[in-house]
Structure 1
Amino acid sequence: MLIAAAVCPYPPLLVPRVAGGAAAELARVRAACERAVAALAAARPDRLTVVGGGGRTRVHPAGAAGSLAGYGVDVVVGRGPGTLPLSLTLGRWLAERCGAAPHSYAEVAGDARTEECLVLGAALAEEAPRVALLVMGDGSARRAANSPGRMDGRAAGYDEALAEALERADVRALAGLDPALSDDLMAEGRAAWQVLAGAADGAGLAGELLAHEAPYGVGYFVARWLPR
């Protein structure tokens, strides 16, 4: 059963060694992530799984590693070859930074259907009596002129609705995210958030939004869901 969840973004600049002199720009988001992940550790789960988007749906073992070499620094998170996608690499980095030890890493295909995501989430929640999820996902990358994608007038509304859903621990709202619209708006967290919806259905958790910023024209959200 899901007893706690944290939602965090995964920009490489979250890692100070990658950000260099720009590390302060994401200081508040980084601090909020640390608060959210610390809450997972404090919940004392039997099993902690990191969930994030990638090329295909599969589960990586606890020893899986990831690399940030593609972002200009020779940083390897974990030991061994870097098989984790960026989302899970940042998830492992955050977990270790906060003293948490994930038991597995669930990679979900970015184009996974909603039904697949919900089923995966439900299955993850059933893996132990007390399950916690660290869910990695970015919002729309079409928020402003400095966004990676061309600015889209729908992006701000999409992200505001998502922030409200995370604040309210609104499982239905997350399950109802439109994959086509999410893809149009370059919201790469959609599949991971719908895995959370599948895991949290019936869990009765309360949400708290710790951060919602878009410093680089991309929506970054930090939230924690804990027992009421």
Structure 2
Amino acid sequence: MLVAAAVCPHPPLIVPELAGAAAAELDGLRAACAAAVESLLAVPHDELVVVGGGQTTRVYGGQAAGSLRPWGVEVKAGAGEPVLPLSLTIGRWLLRRDPDGFQEVAFDAPPGDCLDLGASLVRGPRVALLVLADGSACLTEKAPGYLDPAAQPYQEGLVRALAEADAAALAALDPAEAERLWTGGRAALQVLAGAADQPLTGTVLADTAPYGVGYVVATWT
């Protein structure tokens, strides 16, 4: 049973050592992520799983580590040889502790597979999920995917679904549209949708797009 979830973005620049002089621009986002994680950990749970997108779908043990060395800084999250993709590395960095496991989901995983995966993660009595998911990267002309007029209403729909803990809306996300709008978190959000096996209350702690990428922080409790 899913008892709580936190949704955070996973831009490398959220780590101050990587952001450098621009670190202050993301202070509010970091604070929101910290608050979301704190809220998540405050809910009594038996298992904590970190979910994030990557090149494939696979499971890592709770002591798995990640590194931001590919992004130019020697920042490591966790002990051991770094094996986690960026999303889970940022999740491990935000969590500041070992979870019970990490679940990578392929960015292009079909919705049905994501929903089934989410359902499989909450077979335990009390499961909490930390979900790493970026929104559309087409919100401004300087965004990685440039400006797409459809991106803003799409992003607003994501925010609304998270604010209302609307699993059905997340489950209905179209992979082709998500890809066109550079929505990196589509698969991870659909894993969350599949895990939502009871009504929860959503709260949005941050909704920003400092680099033309939609970054939303939310909790479901």
Percent identity reads 57
Alpha-carbon offset, residue 151 of structure 1 = 1.2
Rounded to whole Å, the distance in 2 between the matches of 1:150 and 1:113 is: 25
Distance 2:8 2:121 in 1: 18
Mapped pair 1:123 → 2:116: no
- Looking at structure 1, the residues matched to 23 and 219 of structure 2 have their Cα atoms a distance apart, in angstroms, of 23
Q: Which SS does the other structure have where 1:196 is aligned?
A: helix
Amino acid across the alignment from 2:31: A
- Distance in 2 (CA, whole Å) between partners of 1:143 and 1:40 is 29
Query: Residue in 2 aligned with 1:214?
Result: 209
Displacement after TM superposition at 1:21 (Å) = 1.4
| 1:32-181 map, 5 Å | 32-96=32-96, 100-126=97-123, 128-181=124-177
Quick check: 2:49–2:103 contact (8 Å CA) kept in 1?
yes
SS, match of residue 201 in structure 2 = strand
8 Å contact 1:33–1:222 — kept in the other structure? Answer: yes
TM-score, with length taken from structure 2: 0.98
The unaligned stretches of length 5 or more in structure 2 are: none
Secondary structure of 2:34 counterpart: helix
Q: What is the aligned counterpart of 2:184 among 170, 188, 206? A: 188
1:198 to 194, 199, 219: 194
1:145 to partner: Cα distance: 1.0
CA distance in 1, matches of 2:72, 2:61: 26
Which letter maps to 2:110?
Answer: R
Tell whether the 8 Å contact from 1:48 to 1:101 is kept in structure 2 after alignment: no
Conserved? CA contact 2:162–2:203, under 8 Å = yes
CA-CA distance at 1:146 after TM superposition: 1.1
Q: How large is the Cα RMSD of the aligned pairs?
A: 0.8
Counterpart CA distance in 2 for 1:72 and 1:56 is: 23
TM superposition shift of 1:101? 3.2
Q: Distance in 2 between matches of 1:155 and 1:102?
A: 33
> Once superposed, which parts of structure 1, at least 4 consecutive aligned residues long, lie more than 3 Å away?
none
Q: Aligned to 1:218, what secondary structure does the other structure show? A: coil
Query: 2:63·2:99 contact (CA, 8 Å) conserved in 1?
Result: no
Tell me how far apart the structure 2 counterparts of residues 38 and 45 of structure 1 sit (CA, whole Å). Answer: 13
CA offset digits 1:151-210 (Å, max 9, x no partner): 11111111000000000000110000010000001100000000000001x311100011
